[in-house]
Structure 1
């Protein structure tokens, strides 16, 4: 297929078939404690389909099964939603929440695998990645579900939200550790601003509204755009049944965040929030790449720099500044520290807006301010690095990073297993075909680990 759309070329070129391969070739040694499935989602339109926006490509989940030091299988499967067969999102009766790409993320909660896309209901998959169907928490979920839910590492609860460009703009949900939806509430004061991700601390839920908001004149199929009139804000809501009645909104500098690195309360009770953000020009370059318009950057991410907000609830002030000048996205961490103060964070490094610099995996030490970069090589692009704790870990970074690399020179892909401490390569698993650059994924262990 010949196309000028950047999200259908190079590292992002879709694969055209579903395959299953067994007994994959390994270089190095896979630690036997890595027993489970590494799953990664991404946009992969069917042959002959050219979506108007990268985000509109149908979801395809790629999985690698590790056990006893072996890579037992790889398989890739489209998420079979009505949208895969051409069903429209908008109908005469309003949005069809089942007409999903289901291509942004895949998680497991309470034994269910859920493929996610933020404008829709989640889609359940079985252990072989075949589609079970739309999942609405036994009829209790009546909004869309964010692609970035947060599982509380202490309670096991799943916190998430549904957002909409029309009222109610924001609905907050909690499912208990067994998967039952136990709390839903509309959040007052929210607007039609894009809310892709959010943050969870031990005591608060933190929502971020940037300058990207609903725009009915945008015809790419994703009706959002930058607006200087849309105020950038952070909403801080106490956790608990009556938290929505006490939400407070704080003005921040113009910008837009897609993904949160982490948030927590510090020793003074202030909320520390971090994540990559773009300014107006960075959003323009990225958006034009996402829709294949002229004036786009050379990469899907441009001018995306890590920012820190310090929110003082007592003084009602927000201090913010950029803390690193490396263009990064897809931040991750040891999720045992989600909502608590963490020392280490990981991200993908991208070339800058002029195409300078290479791809790599970055490790940040928030205590010393140091960063370490694992260069993956020429014409190679890693996926989001998923952290897996080592058994018996005593330090925050005792564990492994899993990432799938797209290799254009070899027209191939590998799963890399890296030591999360020094970013040294431990093992390489050769996959049966090149896996397109994708979005988010998860490690699904055979048995949940317990922290030291």
Structure 2
């Protein structure tokens, strides 16, 4: 196990499923926080050593809040065929129900969906039990990204299917109730790895970086860095027939795993923001993910915030690094998805030798200021999830929720922070009944959504 960093420390899997009721709360939980914080993680069963961090079976962890109380904590494996060892590749091709379902968990149309980009989503009950693979009533016959985007105005869910073989990229839009699905193949795409994307009011934005299909990669995730793979941004108009008008723009070499947001500025330019890595950062991160030598001390090496500004009229892209911290997991107030946001949150990592502490970062894009909330040695917060405070309209008037893995105490806690001021003490701290392994992505699901 020592050679596999994703099975040790903050990432060490738990071995069972538990339920604990009436959790201890320090501070005061606002009664308006009625719902569930759900996090997803790669958590292989005991005795299983996956060849890649992302190959570990998905496990969802949930905390239920109601009436100022933390009613329960539950963790459950997502019971897909992969959990019991079923092969993804068959004589008939990939079995899209054989999913790790360990990257993200969202709600759409009243359904909870556990996501992993190489397969179909899996529906869960409100109490984390697995229902079955979900294919939008038979309309989805390809994979689904783990990073769909819900339009805050229409409630439509945008997502994509990608493949190392043609068709390389398909864009989908599901209706707000999840019943209708419109799909378009995106022309000009390649076998480059596409993990995330973005939407604006009028466009869908994809990014192909310098990481592409590599049949010689034997970790089970067949991708690798290629200097020959051009890095490009694709801009596709939203709506029927938009794919036929897709334009591709070359950018500097690199790879962006996640995007914070995209929007159209006052000049009509398309602005896209998110962390990106170069060749060395990618390779040292990948080596951590597979347990190879010459790896960074953390799963993220050298990923720094970038901004791409696409001038459609001129046919050009301006790129700039906007901060020098090594960050990942960028988030915003989701009400601003596709429109210009002021505040942005991220998780900053120790340096490549493991020196320093994990830190939550808040960026103010209007003033250029950043606020750091460092956590102590041996403590790792999860990606910050923003929840709007009841009766407020300000972009940062709300709460940030994170689950902190604490190796010092072999325990975890859920922390509710005042998003408007990270310098004040937490609004509330919920002590969880066990250490929760470092999770990937998650969501706050209010009761009204289910």
The interval holding the TM-score normalised by the smaller chain is: over 0.9
SS of residue paired to 1:256: coil
Match of 2:156 in 1: 157
**Match runs of 1:31-430 below 5 Å:** 31-423=30-422, 424=424, 425-430=426-431
Cα separation, 2, equivalents of 1:352 and 1:262: 25
SS of residue paired to 2:233: strand
Q: Deviations along 1:356-408, whole A, 9 cap, x unmatched?
A: 33101100000111100111211000000000000111310000000000000
Cα separation, 2, equivalents of 1:33 and 1:254: 45
Residues 200 and 264, structure 2, Cα contact 8 Å, conserved in 1: yes
Residues 136 and 181, structure 2, Cα contact 8 Å, conserved in 1: no
TM-score (norm 1): 0.98
Cα separation, 2, equivalents of 1:435 and 1:161: 30
Count residues in correspondence.
448
Residues 235 and 250, structure 1, Cα contact 8 Å, conserved in 2: yes
**RMSD of aligned Cα (Å):** 0.9
Residues 173 and 181, structure 1, Cα contact 8 Å, conserved in 2: no
Cα separation, 1, equivalents of 2:225 and 2:55: 19
SS of residue paired to 2:100: coil
* Shift of residue 181, structure 1, vs aligned partner: 3.1
Q: Mind listing any 5+ residue stretches in structure 1 that lack a counterpart?
A: none
SS of residue paired to 2:427: strand
Cα separation, 1, equivalents of 2:79 and 2:247: 40
Report runs of 4+ in structure 1 exceeding 3 Å deviation: none
* Shift of residue 294, structure 1, vs aligned partner: 0.3
Cα separation, 2, equivalents of 1:335 and 1:167: 32
Residues 400 and 417, structure 1, Cα contact 8 Å, conserved in 2: yes
Cα separation, 2, equivalents of 1:302 and 1:406: 20
* Shift of residue 448, structure 1, vs aligned partner: 5.6
Residues 110 and 178, structure 1, Cα contact 8 Å, conserved in 2: yes
2:446 is the counterpart of 1:445: yes
Residues 141 and 181, structure 1, Cα contact 8 Å, conserved in 2: no
* Shift of residue 3, structure 1, vs aligned partner: 3.3
Cα separation, 1, equivalents of 2:439 and 2:280: 24
Cα separation, 2, equivalents of 1:92 and 1:181: 31
Residues 174 and 182, structure 2, Cα contact 8 Å, conserved in 1: yes
Cα separation, 1, equivalents of 2:260 and 2:99: 26
SS of residue paired to 2:328: strand
Cα separation, 1, equivalents of 2:181 and 2:221: 31
SS of residue paired to 1:283: helix
Cα separation, 2, equivalents of 1:43 and 1:95: 21
Q: Mind listing any 5+ residue stretches in structure 2 that lack a counterpart?
A: none
Cα separation, 2, equivalents of 1:326 and 1:3: 28
* Shift of residue 217, structure 1, vs aligned partner: 0.2
**Match runs of 1:22-37 below 5 Å:** 22-37=21-36
Cα separation, 2, equivalents of 1:438 and 1:100: 17
